[in-house]
Amino acid sequence: MTAPFTRKHYEVVPEGIPVELLDGQLVKRPSPRFGHQRIQSRILHVLAGLLGPDRVAVGPVDVLVDELNVFVPDIVVHEQVPDDDAQYIGVPSVVFEVLSPSTEVRDRDYKARRYLGLGVKEVWLIDRARRRIELVDVDGTTPSVADQAATSRVVSGLELVPDQLFAPL
């Protein structure tokens, strides 16, 4: 049996190599497709309008969960502005994961729960395939579809409507 990879191993991976550390395994993250990036950009635009650019970061950013887990979410929101030179950004207040077919199960079933256990207050799962937003917090999961807005309890004024978020170009 091979020893697991740890945070120390992860830290020597060259910058720009798309991996996450999940349960002691280095897992390759596929490059996002254009639709993924378009949705990510739309969310970032809304968040920057509400919070300004300094409290919002778009991935890849490293969230240290524990010695065997470093997650790389799509977008994070912080209550305080992280240090510019920090490798790990600390515990964000809100995390956004734009689901892809290759990462959906991991993002929904594993990472969302771990984020909440770490102290993240909300996890937004953006499901392009189903045109749905799932807002996950300690009280459970609230799905939003069509013209039903998903409303944050953490970021004042944040509402995302699936029909608008997933609208064609």
| pLDDT given for residue 1 in this prediction | 61
Nearest CA among 162, 99, 167 for reference residue 127:
99
Strand 94-99 versus strand 75-77 pairing type: antiparallel
Nearest CA among 126, 135, 131 for reference residue 153:
135
| pLDDT given for residue 151 in this prediction | 93
- Residues 115 and 137: their CA atoms lie apart, in Å, by 10
- Residues 91 and 43: their CA atoms lie apart, in Å, by 20
Global pTM reads 0.91
| 10 Rama class: left (phi>0) / alpha (psi -120 to 50) / beta | alpha
- Cα 103 to the center of its chain, rounded Å: 12
Contact by Cβ (8 Å): 114, 69: yes
Q: Which residues of the chain fall below pLDDT 50?
A: none
Q: What length is written for the chain? A: 169
pLDDT tens-digit readout, 65-94: 999 999 999 999 988 776 777 667 678 999
Contact by Cβ (8 Å): 65, 55: no
Which token pair is 128? 């392009």
Domains of the chain in start order, with CATH, are 32-165 (3.90.1570.10)
